[in-house]
Amino acid sequence: QVTLWLKKIYGDMPVPKYEVNERTVDILHEVMEFNEESDRDVSLLIEDMKDRATKYEAEAKYWQDILGESLGLSLGSLSQEAATALNDLVESAMALEVEDTSLTSFYSAINYMSSELFKTKSENREMELKLKTLTEKLTSALMLEKQLDEDIEKIEESQKAENAKAESRSKNLKFLEDKSEDLKIRIRDAQKKLIATGLDQSLTHEALVKASEELAALRKEIEPLKKEVKSYHDLPP
């Protein structure tokens, strides 16, 4: 419904692009209903005026025929001043939609139209306020949509940068792993060559590391013994 209404409003012009979501569609639907309601009111008013004009024209012709045939009165037989006054009276009666041209009818019609005018102005103010509120909601929704698009764009750019950093770190880690593996192979090859030349097994890297660990464990075991011996040293002879 909203899409068809927008195409009808813009005609041959392209409909401006907007984010299709529940919030924007609801706001546009409210604007559409308000617009269609106003169009219906205007159409009904026009049809009513046309019906009244047809009715008054028929009634005017009826009385014109009676006056012309019975009294011999016509616009041609009246003075210019009288014809002008008669036209003003007729136009006023038609504008005020009175049944006759008595002063009572004119005063009643004027009071009624004044009341209707005040009522119409009040309704117009309410409609203008409602339209303003809907416009503000739509503007707010469009601004929010724009802000969300900008935030999404920033997040995507940040994600691309993080992905590039992660890829770089992954490549560096792979290089270091390959380099470490290569060094391990070289060390093993060097140890094999040294062993082949008669090197003592106790001097290999693994043996030295193991001996260092054993030495550290022994030192840890000796530490409390040293403290105990030190306490004896503090005794008098």
Q: Any residues with CB less than 8 A from the CB of 1 and at least 6 apart, and which? A: 29, 32
Give the residue with greater pLDDT, 176 vs 73: 176
Q: If we measure between CA atoms, which residue out of 131, 127, 138, 132 comes closest to residue 27?
A: 138
Q: How far is CA 181 from each of CA 80, 172, 178, rounded to the nearest angstrom? A: 120, 14, 5
Cα 108–chain centre separation: 52
Is the pLDDT at 216 greater than 70? The verdict is yes
pLDDT, tens digit, for every residue of 58-69?
Answer: 887 887 777 666
> 109 near 96, Cβ under 8 Å?
yes
Q: Write down the pLDDT at residue 73.
A: 62
Segments in the chain forming alpha helices (H): 2-10, 22-66, 80-96, 103-196, 205-233
Residue type, 56: Y
The pLDDT of residue 222: 85
Q: Output the six-digit token pair for 70.
A: 């019975």
pLDDT tops 70 at residue 78: no
The structure's pTM equals: 0.31
Q: What CA–CA distance (Å, rounded) separates 149 from 21?
A: 14
What is the spatial distance between Cα 70 and Cα 72, in angstroms, rounded to a whole number? 6
Q: pLDDT band at 202, cuts 50/70/90?
A: low
Give the pLDDT confidence of 6-60 residue by residue, as tens digits: 777 777 788 777 777 888 888 888 888 888 888 888 888 999 899 988 888 888 7
Is 80 exceeded by the pLDDT of residue 205?
A: no
- Express each pLDDT in 87-123 by its tens digit: 777 777 777 777 777 778 778 878 888 888 888 888 8
